[in-house]
């Protein structure tokens, strides 16, 4: 008899982007799922529901195929978009940290002009 084991916790990579006024799309690149909403938060909430439903079904109804269903990679364009967004955010954070460091390196006393 095969012993049931609980699947390992998943680390899912997702992003949301605005495609038009009041139209956001949230994408999970590890499960090839997407959801639309009027705001980033709305799209994310809808994507969360999809993810929960997908994982639940893969873990119960389709348990025999779980390893084929999770992960289920999105097309390369969506994965590339995720990494480009990730790099832009990392660049922003690095610039912000460098800017903070530069400010903290300023002299605390104004220079004396003779």
Q: In the block, which residue shows the tokens 């994310």? A: 44
C-alpha 76/C-alpha 71 separation (Å) is 14
pTM to 2 decimal places: 0.76
pLDDT > 80? residue 96: no
- CA end-to-end span of the chain, whole Å? 90
For the stretch 51-79, pLDDT in tens is 999 999 999 999 999 999 999 999 999 99
Q: Counting beta carbons within 10 angstroms of the beta carbon of residue 88, is it exposed (0 to 12), middle (13 to 18) or buried (19 or more)?
A: exposed
For the stretch 7-16, pLDDT in tens is 678 899 999 9
C-alpha 82/C-alpha 65 separation (Å) is 27
């Amino acid at each position: 008899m095969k012993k049931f084991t609980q699947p390992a916790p998943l680390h899912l990579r997702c992003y949301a982007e605005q495609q038009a006024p009041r139209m956001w799309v949230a994408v999970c690149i590890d499960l090839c799922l997407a959801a639309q909403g009027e705001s980033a938060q709305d799209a994310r909430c809808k994507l969360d529901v999809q993810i929960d439903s997908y994982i639940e079904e893969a873990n119960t109804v389709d348990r025999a195929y779980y390893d084929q269903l999770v992960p289920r990679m999105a097309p390369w364009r969506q994965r590339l978009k995720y990494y480009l967004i990730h790099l832009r955010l990392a660049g922003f954070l690095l610039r912000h940290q460098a800017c903070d460091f530069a400010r903290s390196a300023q002299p605390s006393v104004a220079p004396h002009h003779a």
